[in-house]
Amino acid sequence: MKMSDSAIVATGIGKTFNGNTDNAVVALDGIDLTVEPGEFVSLIGPSGCGKSTMLRVFGDLISPTEGTVEVFGKSAAQARLDRDYGMAFQKAGLFDWRKVSANIELPLELAGWSKDRRSYRSAEMLSLVKLQEFADHYPWQLSGGMQQRVAIARALSFEPKLLLMDEPFGALDEMTREHMQVELLRIYEQLGTTVVFVTHSIPEAAFLSDRVVVLSPRPGRIHSIIDVDLGKRDENTRESAEFFAMTTEVREALRSVEAMS
Amino acid sequence: MTAVARLGRSLPTRDGVRRSLRGAVAGLVALAGVVAVWEGYKWMGGHTDDHWPGTSFGLPVRTNDLVMPHANEIWGSLWDPVQRGRSQTLAGFLFQSARFTFSEAALGFVIGTIIGLALAVLMLRFSTAERGLMPWINISQTVPLIALAPIIVTWGRGTALSDTQAVSIIATYLTFFPVAVNALQGLQSPDQADLELMRSYASPWRHTLWKLRVPAARPYLFPAFKLAATLSVVGAIVGEISAGVKGGLGRAVLNFATIYSTGPEKLYASVLAAALLGLFVFALVSIVERFVDRNQIHNSNGSSGAGA
Ligand SMILES: Nc1ncnc2c1ncn2[C@@H]1O[C@H](COP(=O)(O)OP(=O)(O)O)[C@@H](O)[C@H]1O
Ligand SMILES: [Mg+2]
């Protein structure tokens, strides 16, 4: 059946915080979204429009008040228990008391991998994010961009089928950020995972995505979905006419969202 | 309670050797300061007939040699026989007494720490336990130890417990509290984001405890252990006095207080010994802390990382 082939099928998702109280917030309303395996989908929209909430519902960190989420044909809760998710947030969230390699091995430990397999994999992941020499460093000895690469290596170490990222490059300077975007695409293409990526950066969404989902706030709804096809991307892509056209399209969608609210 | 809760906020600096040197120097300076104030006050009283200079206001403490023996006399008495006709020196006697008290305090510390940690984990796991237990844990420390100690000793006599074991229980009573309160705070210290990360890995509760909460609690635990260690000595001494247990510093203080008029310096020496024992257990915990943390040299030299 078509449904269970999809990575995510969200149907009629609604999320109300503090329901039945005076400060109830309708964060999401009537969200229908399907993400296909191998797709890179960005969520963009003004701050507070429910991007993080949507990602957290997909990842079973919170449950929706309405609607259902199916992930690879299972409930989101089952997908989480099956360790289908890799997650990365704006804050790298590395554990200070663990060396870089041990941070990457954390999910592997929890999944019961043997010591040998773990260290083999963490070495592999470190070379994937080009931080081989930093295996024995502590997180606080690394720059923000390097920490974020470790966090991505950790999120991918156990080959999760679905990568959920919430503004992972939000705290980085522009040059580092662009560099990280290229790295992420390289890894994504190499591993063939599915990615849902929250951002509030128009060029970032346009550069990375197969599809950009534009959200409107209060309550969070899907305003429009923009297909992007920039083909193989590298640093030159950012100066191409196609890229310029895509950012313009996303920007105009966001402007009409702002005009509505 | 608030003082205890606040302890956890100070992250230990881990500059081992330099810190212990600084501690030793600070200790010597403090000791010299106490001696200087003691002798200065005594000298002043001797010249003003125990009045504040130029006034008719009497000094709060008289300065004669019976009330305030000279510091060098206290020091000197350490090397005299503890009792006429005995070969053991006062220093030797106090050392022996301190060892006795130490063993009671150490048992109390270990049991109290285990109970404190167990309570913290229980309260972490079941929020109903936290709501139900926390008030009692707080109330427990408002009961004056002096009132409680004889009760514990009396109960102990009704069971198979020896009086020295009852003393250890009194030490336990003081010890478990800072450990329980600070450990709970430390176990609850991880960010929501860290907890969600563990959730995304489908981490069972016990793994989240061991791999996230316990390591995150470490900076909260050692300050509590240090406080608990010194409190265990206080508990043991008070317990010895209440239970009339022979052989420890409590009994030494009591004995020397009764023969005060013939040897005031001995009382001061035994109080000094009690203070030193407190410092000693504090130092022991600090050494263990340094040992545990030796691979965890924290920031401040984070220059080895390059740009991204
Ligand atoms: N735990 C929560 N409790 C109450 N309100 C929340 C909570 N989390 C998010 N919200 C509210 O839901 C709305 C959407 O938040 P969020 O998903 O974080 O937006 P975004 O990530 O797009 O900036 C906001 O109005 C926010 O205040
Ligand atoms: Mg957000």
The 10s digit of each residue's pLDDT in B3-48 is 443 343 334 445 667 777 887 888 889 889 999 999 999 899 888 8
A61 Cβ closer than 6 Å to some ligand 1 atom: no
**Hey, how many other C-beta atoms are within 10 angstroms of the C-beta on B288?**
14
Closest CA to ligand 1's atom 24:
A48
- Please give the structure tokens belonging to residue A166: 């919430």
- At position B4, the amino acid (one-letter code) is V
Closest CA to ligand 1's atom 18:
A52
Closest CA to ligand 1's atom 16:
A50
What is the spatial distance between Cα B133 and Cα B128, in angstroms, rounded to a whole number? 8
**Hey, how many other C-beta atoms are within 10 angstroms of the C-beta on B103?**
16
Ligand 2 (single-atom ion) residues, CB below 5 Å: A 52
The mean-pLDDT minimum among A184-198, B26-40, B184-198, B288-302 falls in B288-302
A47 Cβ closer than 6 Å to some ligand 1 atom: yes
- Please give the structure tokens belonging to residue B24: 């030793």
- Enumerate the β-bridge partners of residue A220: A28
Closest CA to ligand 1's atom 27:
A48
Query: For chains A and B, what is the number of CB pairs under 8 angstroms?
Result: 70
Which of A62, A85, A91, A141 is the best mutation test for B, with the most CBs of B within 10 A?
A141
**In ligand 1, which atom is closest to the CA atom of A46?**
22
Q: Which ligand is nearest to the CA of A219?
A: 1
Distance A51 CA to ligand 1 centre (A): 8
Give the per-residue pLDDT at B154.
Answer: 84
- B216 contacts in chain A (CB < 8 Å): 97
What is the spatial distance between Cα A13 and Cα B151, in angstroms, rounded to a whole number? 62
| pTM for this model (two decimals) | 0.83
pLDDT score of B305 more than 70: no
Assign domain B71-307 to its CATH architecture: Orthogonal Bundle (1.10)
Mean pLDDT of A229-235: 87
ipTM of this model? 0.89
**Coil, helix or strand for A158?**
coil
Which range scores top for mean pLDDT: B124-128, B156-160, B179-183?
B179-183
- At position B223, the amino acid (one-letter code) is P
Give the per-residue pLDDT at B138.
Answer: 84
**In ligand 1, which atom is closest to the CA atom of A53?**
17
Which range scores top for mean pLDDT: A15-24, A63-72, B79-88, B152-161?
A63-72
**In ligand 1, which atom is closest to the CA atom of A215?**
22
Helix pair A174-191, A144-156: axis angle to 10 deg: 20
Instruction: Lay out the sheet containing A74-75: strands in order across.
Output: A25-35, A8-17, A66-71, A74-75
HEC secondary structure over A85-152: EEEEECCCCCCCCCCHHHHHHHHHHHCCCCHHHHHHHHHHHHHHCCCHHHCCCCHHHCCHHHHHHHHH
**Hey, how many other C-beta atoms are within 10 angstroms of the C-beta on A219?**
17
**In ligand 1, which atom is closest to the CA atom of A45?**
22
What is the spatial distance between Cα A221 and Cα A257, in angstroms, rounded to a whole number? 10
In this complex, the residue of B193, B202, B304 whose CB is nearest that of residue A137 is: B304
Tell me the residues of chain B between 243 and 302 that have a Cβ less than 8 Å away from chain A.
296, 298-299, 302
In the predicted model, what is the mean pLDDT of chain B? 85
Q: Which ligand is nearest to the CA of A50?
A: 1
A218 Cβ closer than 6 Å to some ligand 1 atom: no
> B192 at the A interface (CB within 8 A)?
no
Question: Which one has a higher pLDDT value, B302 or A20?
Answer: A20
pLDDT score of B176 more than 70: yes
